[in-house]
Amino acid sequence: MVIDNSLSVKLRWTQFICAIVVVSDHAFDYIHYVHQEKYIVDNIFFYLIYMFTSGLTRIAMPMFFCISAFLLYKDWNDSTSIIQRYLYKLKSRSVSILSPYLVWNTICGDKDKARMAP
C-alpha cells in the first residue's frame, strides 16, 4: 500500500494533536501541584482539567499505537509467508530501536547505582 499525500498529512496532524494531548495529560500533575485547593475557583479549574485529562486524553496513546502499527505493516505483500514477513520486520525494527537504546544506556547508564556504591 502506498501512502498518498493526503493520508500522510492526516497522519501527521493526528500525531501532532495526540502529542499535544499527551503533553496536556502530563501537565495535569503540575497543575494539581500548583493549585492545591486554595480557592473555589481553583477547585473548579482543577476538576475541569481533571475531567479533560482523565477522560478525553486517554485516547492519545492508543492512537499512537494504531498509527505505528499501520505504518509498520503498510508495505506487506502477499508473495511471502506471514512468518517471513514478521521476522523481517522484527529484525529491522529491533536494529533501529535497540541501537540507540544500547548506545544511550552505555553512555548514561547506571549513574544512580554508581552514586550509591560505598
C-alpha span between 2 and 5 (Å, rounded): 10
Are 104 and 98 in contact by the 8 Å Cβ rule? The answer is no
User: Span 106-110, mean pLDDT?
Assistant: 76
- Please state the pTM of the whole predicted model: 0.61
Are 14 and 67 in contact by the 8 Å Cβ rule? The answer is yes
Query: Above 70 in pLDDT, residue 101?
Result: yes
SS3 readout for 42-100:
HHHHHHHHHHHHHHHHHHHHHHHHHHHHHHHHCCCCCCCCHHHHHHHHHHHHHHHHHHH
More confident residue, 10 or 69: 10
